[in-house]
Amino acid sequence: MNDRSQPNTKSARRFRLKFWGVRGSYPTVSADTLGVGGNTSCVEVEVDGRRLIFDAGTGIIPLGKQLCNGASPPPAAYVFLSHTHIDHVLGLCFFEPLLTDKARTFILGPGATPGALTRSLRHLTNSDLFPVSLDELKGKKEIFSLSGGEVIRFGSSGTRPNIEEPRAADGIESDDLKVTTFKSAAHPLNGVMLYRVHYQSKSFVYATDVEQQEGGYPEIIEFARGADLLIHDAQYLQDEYFSYTKPRKGWGHSTIDMATDVAKKAEVQRLVLFHHEPTHDDGTMKRIEKEAQQLFRSTVIAHEGMQIDLI
């Protein structure tokens, strides 16, 4: 029997996003940032009983606790890493399913060769930094390196994802959950992976840690074309990006203007500004949202706990 014929009835046809961490660079805990939230990048996506997670910043820590709360074993998680900069993996070693017997976690992210992502993640648990090695963590885990252009399909929750090379995926059309990948060089030093998640006739794009060029990168605009939702890096204000004393050009992040420009050109339905500058307090973030809406009407800033239902 096909896995797809027996979806979890409770969550069947659900396509829900929840933001657990929305900051870039480093977490912030000051009182004036609590409204938007201080955890670094992590977005949970629940699709028809399957659970995908985008990035393992500190936001993944409370998410992991919730997954393990009373569930034995906890539901399997498919963790997609945009890249392995510290703000995107800082929560990984504290992700409760990785510390829990019988839990299953699949980790996917950029890596030039099959073992490259595993080698990168092992740095996190170097004995000088963390007392337990990645291999010793109790939860079952499998790590997959991606080079970009893959199509990833899923069976029922807990089964290994099926990673198809671009050619092999040609011509296979299905309404079931799939993730497509695009490797962008628009982030120093090793680039970043962008993801597009498709389910039924809906899709969203996760594009954090990208610094757009003037007018936007055409290939990123194409990758996002027509999406129902675009989550895009918008770390800097124009003033910060072009500052004389401390210009941020080349740091790998976009401005609000760049993000809204790409949303317009890609003709997406909605834009979520993401990877917020940690020094931007709640008042600044409110102003940013208003200004961004002048540039692209269907824009919101991501905040912790925000949920969006695409179905």
Residue nearest to Zn ion according to CB distances in the complex: 85
Task: Name the segment binding Zn ion (CB under 5 A); options: 127-135, 158-166, 203-211, 296-304.
Answer: 203-211
> Residue 293's CB: how many other CB atoms inside 10 A?
15
Residue 21, beta-bridge partner list = 42
Distance CA 309, CA 311 (A): 5
The residue among 87 and 277 lying less far from Zn ion, judged by its C-beta, is: 87
209 touching Zn ion, by CB under 5 A: yes
Q: Residue 70, class by beta-carbon neighbours within 10 Å (0-12 exposed, 13-18 middle, 19+ buried)?
A: exposed
> 3-class DSSP state for residue 123?
helix
Stretch 255-274: interaction string toward Zn ion, x if CB under 5 A: --------------------
Could you give the dihedral angle defined by the CA atoms of residues 217, 223, 224 and 226, in that order, rounded to the nearest 10 degrees? 120
The residue among 46 and 209 lying less far from Zn ion, judged by its C-beta, is: 209
Task: Name the segment binding Zn ion (CB under 5 A); options: 14-22, 78-86, 163-171, 173-181.
Answer: 78-86
- What is the tally of helices (H) and strands (E) in the chain? 8, 15
User: Nearest approach, Cβ of 301 to Zn ion (angstroms)?
Assistant: 16
Distance CA 223, CA 179 (A): 12
Binder of Zn ion out of 44, 87, 261, 277 (CB under 5 A): 87
Q: Which two tokens stand for residue 182?
A: 């695009």
85 touching Zn ion, by CB under 5 A: yes
Q: Rounded to the nearest 5°, which phi and psi values hold at 156? A: -75, 165
User: Nearest approach, Cβ of 234 to Zn ion (angstroms)?
Assistant: 12
24 touching Zn ion, by CB under 5 A: yes
User: Nearest approach, Cβ of 220 to Zn ion (angstroms)?
Assistant: 16
Task: Name the segment binding Zn ion (CB under 5 A); options: 11-19, 84-92, 222-230, 265-273.
Answer: 84-92
* Residues at the interface with Zn ion (CB under 5 A): 24, 85, 87, 209
